Structure 1
Amino acid sequence: MFKKMKGKKIALLVASLLVVVAVSGIVVQKRCAAEGGNDYESIELFTDVLAIVKKSYVEEVDTKKLIYGAINGMLASLDPHSSFMPPDTYKEMKIDTKGSFGGLGIEITIKDGILTVISPIEDTPAFRAGIKSGDQILKIEDRFTKDMSIMDAVKRMRGPKGTKVTLTVMREGFDKPKDYTLVRDVIQVKSVRFKTLDNGYGYVRIAQFQEKTDDDLAKALSALKGENGGQLKGLVLDLRNDPGGLLDQAVRVADHFIEDGLIVYTEGREKDSKMKFSAKKAGTEPNYPMVVLINGGSASASEIVAGALQDHKRAVVMGTQSFGKGSVQTIIPLSDESGLRLTTARYYTPSGRSIQAKGITPDITVERAEIQSTEKKEGHIREKDLENHFESGEKGAPDEKKLEKEKQPAYKSDDQLKGDYQVLRALDLLKGWEILKKMGKSE
């Protein structure tokens, strides 16, 4: 979810919790001397400790390993999304926005020092094995994940297609942790899926914002129109469990439905972190009714789209409270081919809302219907639950009312989609919209 910029502008990225990046040609400003004596004293303290460890530790240690560990600790103390990527990890991360990699298909984060699942990616080994939102991954093979970095966890879960990996999972309702042995596969994350729900009413699901999401969306809308006599009466845009992705793709997706005006803007300490993205009239879709579906797994770029459409009153937002990740990450390549992922700004919806640690509140709250009312519901992890998260920067505390819990819904097959309560409610709303419009014309 980065955007390439020229000159002194650096790649901005609204990170998904999968941590996907693709970076090239970034110009990094060199920092001048430390701002004050305290900085020099702190650096001296660090070098003193480094020298003592090098000289007196019981075994000989690798200096680079110590430096990498120190950088990891420094960034981990800032917020959940800033991190350091060693060369091998940084190289591996660059391929993710292509939508294809070898692994299990799990969106993860760190909560209270424990590796926690945000959501499984649809139609992947993790999804098929029954891994759920909110699951705590206590072990990967024989390695405990307590205080393990996300980068390390991702590296351990990835691997060649056909190889096995065992995850030890604790879930609400489990008496004890359960082992899941998954077979790695090539994860092909299909960004956009679509189908006709009823005559004239289309459905588009965006699973993740990748390099070709904008193009794939244009093809999907064209195909839906072709299936429905050349035009749509209404559209359901499903962003549930979409962890985000590329910022420029989020802007372009929103631009399909907004004729003009602001889509999103960012604010940070540096000049390069203050940016505005506006809609262009060319290529805008007709003003047919829209419903956007969100839930606790909708984060980052998907919240940009939902927030923009909501602020412009272009769509009704339906579902449950979104994740609440309103921060921007900058990816900076370092001299040894490692990478720095640093939170540099907050993003704001057109009306000036920061959803950081709060999320997008739907216009109409619709819970996912359960097959059995006695079954316990799983809660989504949200930005405000993460250790060291920062606040929105707005005056006044966010609404602290307890958010409704829900089980994670994901993209379904055609038959399953017919039984998706939230999609059916969205379709009913669109049809009602059409009926009311006709009634208004007849009066």
Structure 2
Amino acid sequence: MIKRFSLLILALSTISCIGAQRQSEANKKLSLAEFAISNLYVDNVDESKLVEDAIRGMLEKLDPHSSYMTPEETKEMNEPLQGNFDGIGIQFNMVKDTLYVVQTVAGGPSEKVGILAGDRIIAVNDTAIAGVKMKNTDIMKRLRGPRGSKVNVSILRRGINEPLTFRITRGQIPIYSIDASYMANKNTGYVRLSRFSASTGKEFSDALKRLKKEGMKNLIIDLQGNGGGYLNAAIDVAQELLANDEIITYTQGRRSPRTDYKAKSSGLFKDGNVIILVDESSASASEIVSGAIQDWDRGLIVGRRTFGKGLVQRPIPMPDGSMIRLTISRYYTPSGRSIQKPYQKGDSEEYFKDIVERYNKGELTNADSIHFPDSLKYKTLINERTVYGGGGIMPDYFIPLDTTRFTDYHRDLIAKGILNQFIISYIDKNRKELTTTYKNNVTTFLDDFTVNDKLLKELISFAEKDKVKYNEEQFKKSEPIIKEQLKALIARDIFDMTAYYRVMNQFNDSYSKALEIINDPQKYNTLLKIKK
């Protein structure tokens, strides 16, 4: 343990360019304290946990984003960003302690052996997972495994009395960063990015090529709720939109000299109107892309001020697979704005309460509640529009958070998973009729399917069985969003995520306003202050 602790000190010393031949006084104190506790303390101690707690304690005194992760946490963090993992290839939901297959990954291991949407997995390798209140993480551990390994699953399928057994050979399962891409109208393409991962650049360029073939002249990029990811992925996305050699972002820190990241000449969409949708949960890589597009007057930002995460972490791997993510510099937009919002060292709790404070101050619902001092004013690089620093990216067109449709009744339906469970039950009974009626035609479904009173009454009854008491006043207030979410969930289950967002976007104020602005040249140009 002492050897491991010394290796940690040595690694940190090397990274910070302190190539001393002997430990500093501070490092000696750390080593001596750990040695004394592990060898002299009155009770037995877990030396591994002791060192981990010491590392966490040091990092917590720095900034909100420097962190320590165990080997398990490191693996869980990396999988979505690396773009794939090894498993059986299903999307599932837990319904009353039973794993319900929502969709199989096209061409994946489960689809190849004949597992279908609507199947219930009740056992994995002879271990029951249904009705035993097993955690989702424990179930996933049983289903995932090395590529090429095999797993036996027992399935219950509607219309078949006896369980079916499948032997699945695990394979590489892709994790996509684009949730949806489609033509919003004959001229405007829409792409929703959920994360910036290793595969984002290729996914984005593939989507642009396909949409351009379908007639795209304008582009809406949806980064609402996108918490970020890899810097390189943000560069890949931004350089498809910017001119050659334009700075996308730069980083700089106490011991990290300024590094510029620039666009290359091979971008696929360097002309045409662009709007990026953001909100208070858009962070990091989302803010890099948004800041670059705004600063170069390449397009407009629509929504609400972004989170303000502009600290750069360097991963420092430990010998046991754990990792330190240490902040080494800051991200800046091309005009010189720091993306990082202010913080007090060692006070992460207040830092992450910032969104709540914005809501309490009215910043999420009223643009007049947002104030910036003159010292935070910057000018965009082409049209010299006024933009603001001080953390996050302030949109060019503000969209207030709509709180009028949300009630306690609706919150309970969501929090207890009632909507998801109800739709799973509904589709389970009506899948054949739905697929026959709409025959994989999303447009027909969007135009013709309606959530009628009968379906709503069934939902109310279903919810009451789960002890969500019906409240007529609150139900009527939330009815539009409940109907929207029910239709979107049905679309997702019988089609795909793109169909889900095509429904949800019909009620998304930011999306609607973006579509209006981007198809009105006069309004778009006025907001951009394009000089004629």
Shorter-chain TM-score: which interval? 0.5 to 0.7
Structure 2: gaps spanning 5 or more residues: 1-13, 95-134, 143-171, 342-390, 412-480, 486-496, 526-532
Give, in whole Å, the separation in 2 of the partners of 1:375 and 1:239: 28
Distance 1:69 1:91, change over 3 A: same
Give, in whole Å, the separation in 2 of the partners of 1:208 and 1:246: 9
> Are the aligned partners of 2:205 and 2:268 in contact in 1 as well (CA < 8 Å)?
no
Distance 1:88 1:434, change over 3 A: same
Give, in whole Å, the separation in 2 of the partners of 1:190 and 1:309: 24
More strand by share: 1
- The within-5 A match list for 1:402-413 is 412-413=500-501
Instruction: Say yes or no: does 1:253 pair with 2:234.
Output: no
Give the secondary structure class of the aligned counterpart of 1:418.
Answer: helix
Q: Who is 2:405 aligned against? A: 372
Give, in whole Å, the separation in 2 of the partners of 1:337 and 1:436: 50
Give, in whole Å, the separation in 1 of the partners of 2:224 and 2:524: 28
* Correspondence for 1:49 among 10, 33, 57: 33
Q: Who is 2:64 aligned against? A: 80
Q: TM-score, normalised by structure 1?
A: 0.61
Distance 1:89 1:369, change over 3 A: closer
Q: Deviations over 1:366-420 (max 9, x none)?
A: 1243452778999xxxxxxxxxxxxxxxxxxxxxxxxxxxx9x998432222222
Q: TM-score, normalised by structure 2?
A: 0.51
Distance 1:209 1:434, change over 3 A: same
Q: Who is 1:160 aligned against? A: 139
* Correspondence for 1:221 among 208, 226, 238: 208
By how many angstroms is 1:339 displaced? 2.1
Q: Who is 1:190 aligned against? A: 176
Q: Who is 2:254 aligned against? A: 269
Paired residues in the alignment total 307
Give, in whole Å, the separation in 2 of the partners of 1:367 and 1:254: 26
Give the secondary structure class of the aligned counterpart of 2:181.
Answer: strand
> Are the aligned partners of 1:295 and 1:320 in contact in 2 as well (CA < 8 Å)?
yes
- The within-5 A match list for 1:173-188 is none
Give the secondary structure class of the aligned counterpart of 2:290.
Answer: helix
More relative contact order, 1 or 2 (CA 8 Å, 6+ apart): 1
Instruction: Say yes or no: does 1:355 pair with 2:339.
Output: yes
Q: Structure 2: which amino acid aligns with 1:266?
A: T
Q: Structure 2: which amino acid aligns with 1:68?
A: E
Distance 1:436 1:366, change over 3 A: closer
Give the secondary structure class of the aligned counterpart of 1:198.
Answer: coil
> Are the aligned partners of 1:310 and 1:317 in contact in 2 as well (CA < 8 Å)?
yes
Larger deviation: 410-419 or 208-217? Answer: 410-419
Q: Structure 1: which amino acid aligns with 2:515?
A: L
By how many angstroms is 1:235 displaced? 1.2
Cα RMSD of the aligned pairs, angstroms, is: 3.6
Give, in whole Å, the separation in 2 of the partners of 1:374 and 1:29: 51
Distance 1:354 1:30, change over 3 A: closer
> Are the aligned partners of 2:276 and 2:290 in contact in 1 as well (CA < 8 Å)?
yes
- The within-5 A match list for 1:30-429 is 31-33=18-20, 39-40=24-25, 42-100=26-84, 158-161=137-140, 189-192=175-178, 193-228=180-215, 232-260=216-244, 261-271=246-256, 274-357=258-341, 358-370=391-403, 372=405, 412-429=500-517
Distance 1:414 1:91, change over 3 A: closer
Q: Who is 1:136 aligned against? A: none
Q: Deviations over 1:7-63 (max 9, x none)?
A: xxxxxxxxxxxxxxxxxxxx9576323999xx50x3344344334422443432233
Q: Who is 1:13 aligned against? A: none
Q: Structure 2: which amino acid aligns with 1:191?
A: S
Distance 1:417 1:377, change over 3 A: same
Distance 1:376 1:314, change over 3 A: farther
Q: Structure 2: which amino acid aligns with 1:161?
A: M
Give the secondary structure class of the aligned counterpart of 1:331.
Answer: strand
More helix by share: 2
Structure 1: gaps spanning 5 or more residues: 1-26, 104-122, 127-155, 164-185, 379-406, 438-443
Larger deviation: 187-196 or 414-423? Answer: 187-196
> Are the aligned partners of 1:102 and 1:160 in contact in 2 as well (CA < 8 Å)?
no
Give, in whole Å, the separation in 2 of the partners of 1:255 and 1:287: 12
By how many angstroms is 1:265 displaced? 0.3
> Are the aligned partners of 2:208 and 2:268 in contact in 1 as well (CA < 8 Å)?
no
Distance 1:162 1:86, change over 3 A: closer
Q: Structure 2: which amino acid aligns with 1:415?
A: V
Q: Structure 1: which amino acid aligns with 2:37?
A: V
Q: Percent identity?
A: 34
Give, in whole Å, the separation in 2 of the partners of 1:288 and 1:206: 19
By how many angstroms is 1:69 displaced? 1.7
Q: Structure 2: which amino acid aligns with 1:160?
A: I
Give, in whole Å, the separation in 2 of the partners of 1:69 and 1:436: 53
Q: Structure 2: which amino acid aligns with 1:204?
A: V
Give the secondary structure class of the aligned counterpart of 2:519.
Answer: helix
Distance 1:375 1:197, change over 3 A: farther
> Are the aligned partners of 2:304 and 2:399 in contact in 1 as well (CA < 8 Å)?
yes
